[in-house]
Amino acid sequence: MHSNPCYNLISALEGFNSTIFAYGQTGSGKTFTITGGAERYEDRGIIPRSLSMIFGEMKKYPDRQTNAYISYLEIYNNQGYDLLNEDHQNTKDIEDLPKVSMLEDEDGNCHLRNLSMHRVASEEDALNLLFLGDTNRAVSETSMNLASSRSHCIFTVSLESRRGGGSEVILRSKLHMVDLAGYRAHKTGAKGKVLREATYINTSLHYLEMVIVALHEKNTKGRSHIPYRNSMMTSVLRDSLGGNCKTVMVATASAEKEQTDRVARVRNDAHLNEEVDPVILIRQLKAQIAALQEELTVLKGDVKEGDDLKEYEKDKLRQKVVEYANNPDADAHLNMGEISYTKMRLCFGFLKAMITGDSATAIRENKALLKKKYDTAKALAATVNEARNSIKELTAKMEKLRTDKAVASVITTNLSTTIESGLVSDDEMAIVAAIDAHKRAYKVGFNQLNDLKKEIQHVQKMLEMGRLKLQKDFDGWYQAQGRGHLVTETLVNKQDVAVGEECIQKDDIPKTGDAAVDKDVTGFYEALDILKRRNSRKL
């Protein structure tokens, strides 16, 4: 049953509101259908199976950032109560708990006050909340059901999903799973409190029927007013019954066929619930404004020639160009700071080098840059170590000075000397000042060393990428050349041409411009010639 009508309701992950509710007389199996049995795993109800399916679908899309929240509302005697309220354990009467009140905004949307929302990170967390809420439900023994539900319960899973890539669109959706109470007072002979509960249950179900009839007449006769406000249950399920929602009703008794037929005639118009994250949207709009301002500056001809950049400024600009080229966002913006023709020429040069694939030159430049940064790092490390050692020496000197001073104050009997011993001497003040200076130097050097470490890692990554690109380009070139050699070798063998004519001359070996790489290429071709000679001898 769950795999057919309820699977489509998991479209809540796609941004659609969904609802499942069970309807039928008392003892017909509504609660068992919704929550399931507590003894066997096979007797799981719609809620546990839906939770398992939701978290299973969430794992299929690791690039999406999805948050799930759980709430459990009980409507008892037309009053709302939070089944996940921590005060449930310490309260004997449910009516002593804080009541959940309804608020309606100007758009007609219903908001619930005093209803807690619990964030869950796994299926296990959600099931624990379900079991906690079930233990707090109001039940009573009747002649038709030993554990009859005395209230309507709504288990809600609220989802917030954001697509990958830092999208500004947030999908917000809700999945309601509703267990409606059912009662037949004349069949059970209810009296007193149980009769009062039955009256509220039947009254709320009557209002539910009125809403369903009105929705059917709205679809067929054009009725405009729907009496949602008659009861709390119809107000909470407003979207589920006739609004933006995919709804499935499970009828647990054939005697209610007339009511289920009416529900089947109701048509809902479900649409995607999308919201725009203002923070990301503002960031994107600021980037667009900056890009348009730069474009306007260029069109007006206000771009300055600009001074020659220093090496570290060129490195930063090159890094920005690489980040811009590797950014998968089609609307990415290259932020070069204040625009100048010097920066523009450098950026175009960096892009040209990346496109033309001058990998050997890039490797040489990155090697030189890496060596320079290694030297700088060694110098900074020496400065940091020197400052640390100086701090240790000065601290030891300070301790010795204070120890000597304390010993002298104990030995002497002069009162003035004892008083003066509690004062800070000039030597101590000088040592403290020196320690502070070395600490500042240590902190500055340590921070610079950390920043330099990040830059070294970035250059190492660029160097590795250049090597991989060079190898990839060479493999592609050699594969194209290899096919020609294979055809040539076949023709030579057929015509019995001397082996020496098949060999590639050293002057014909292509050069890359990098001595180390050229040496490897030459060695490769020499090994290939030796292999060809051996194969020809066997023939």
Residue 262 scores a pLDDT above 60: no
Mean pLDDT of the 299-305 span: 60
Which pLDDT does position 155 carry in this prediction?
94
Q: What is the distance of C-alpha 534 from the center of its chain?
A: 59
Taking a C-beta distance cutoff of 8 angstroms, is the pair 83, 73 a contact? yes
Which has the higher per-residue pLDDT, 457 or 481?
A: 457
Residue 175 has which token pair?
A: 């999945």
CATH topology of domain 7-275: Kinesin (3.40.850)
Separation CA 225–CA 234 (nearest Å) = 14
Separation CA 150–CA 144 (nearest Å) = 13
Residue 220 scores a pLDDT above 50: yes
Categorize the per-residue pLDDT at 418 as very low, low, confident or very high, splitting at 50, 70 and 90: very low
- 2-16, 81-95, 119-133, 279-293, range with greatest mean pLDDT: 119-133
Residue 215 to residues 108, 225, 239, 255, Cα–Cα distance (Å): 17, 9, 12, 22
The pTM for the full model equals 0.51
Mean pLDDT of the 514-518 span: 65
Quick one: what percent of the chain has pLDDT higher than 70?
68
Categorize the per-residue pLDDT at 461 as very low, low, confident or very high, splitting at 50, 70 and 90: confident
Which has the higher per-residue pLDDT, 38 or 287?
A: 287
Residue 72 scores a pLDDT above 60: yes
Mean pLDDT of the 99-105 span: 87
Q: In this structure, are strands 18-23 and 246-251 parallel, antiparallel, or unpaired?
A: parallel
Residue 81: beta bridge partners? 74, 99
- 141-157 pLDDT, tens per residue? 554 444 456 788 999 99
Mean pLDDT of the 496-514 span: 52
Binding-site annotation, residues? 24-31
Taking a C-beta distance cutoff of 8 angstroms, is the pair 171, 161 a contact? yes
Mean pLDDT of the 382-391 span: 88
Residue 400 scores a pLDDT above 80: yes
Which pLDDT does position 187 carry in this prediction?
52
Residue where the block lists tokens 């067929």: 220
- 172-191 pLDDT, tens per residue? 888 889 988 876 544 555 56
Separation CA 286–CA 280 (nearest Å) = 10
* Of 196, 155, 166, residue with least CA distance to 65: 166
Residue 457 scores a pLDDT above 60: yes
Taking a C-beta distance cutoff of 8 angstroms, is the pair 175, 6 a contact? no
Mean pLDDT of the chain: 75
Taking a C-beta distance cutoff of 8 angstroms, is the pair 366, 463 a contact? yes
Residue 437 has which token pair?
A: 């200076």
Which pLDDT does position 499 carry in this prediction?
41
Residue 246 scores a pLDDT above 60: yes
Is 136 strand, coil or helix? coil
Number of H helices, E strands in the chain: 15, 12
Residue 319 scores a pLDDT above 90: no
Q: What is the distance of C-alpha 147 from the center of its chain?
A: 43
Residue 283 has which token pair?
A: 């960031």
Three-state SS sequence of 334-370:
CCCCCCEHHHHHHHHHHHHHHHHCCHHHHHHHHHHHH
Binding-site annotation, residues for ATP? 24-31
Which pLDDT does position 495 carry in this prediction?
44
356 class by beta-carbon count within 10 Å (0-12 exposed, 13-18 middle, 19+ buried): exposed
Which pLDDT does position 154 carry in this prediction?
93
Which has the higher per-residue pLDDT, 383 or 535?
A: 383
Separation CA 458–CA 269 (nearest Å) = 52
- 22-43 pLDDT, tens per residue? 877 777 788 888 888 766 777 7
Residue 118 scores a pLDDT above 90: yes
Mean pLDDT of the 256-267 span: 57
Taking a C-beta distance cutoff of 8 angstroms, is the pair 110, 235 a contact? yes
Categorize the per-residue pLDDT at 362 as very low, low, confident or very high, splitting at 50, 70 and 90: low
Categorize the per-residue pLDDT at 6 as very low, low, confident or very high, splitting at 50, 70 and 90: low
Categorize the per-residue pLDDT at 119 as very low, low, confident or very high, splitting at 50, 70 and 90: very high
**Of the candidate ranges 238-252, 261-275, 287-301, 302-316, the one whose mean pLDDT is the lowest:** 261-275
Q: Residue ranges of the domains in the chain? A: 7-275, 278-356, 362-482, 498-539
Which pLDDT does position 157 carry in this prediction?
93
C-beta pairs of 74-77 under 8 Å, 24+ apart in sequence: 74/133, 74/136, 74/137, 74/138, 74/151, 74/152, 74/153, 75/151, 75/152, 75/153, 75/154, 75/204, 75/232, 75/233, 75/236, 76/138, 76/150, 76/151, 76/197, 76/200, 77/151, 77/196, 77/197, 77/200
Which pLDDT does position 38 carry in this prediction?
66
Taking a C-beta distance cutoff of 8 angstroms, is the pair 207, 231 a contact? yes
Residue 374 scores a pLDDT above 50: yes
Taking a C-beta distance cutoff of 8 angstroms, is the pair 311, 318 a contact? no
Taking a C-beta distance cutoff of 8 angstroms, is the pair 177, 30 a contact? no
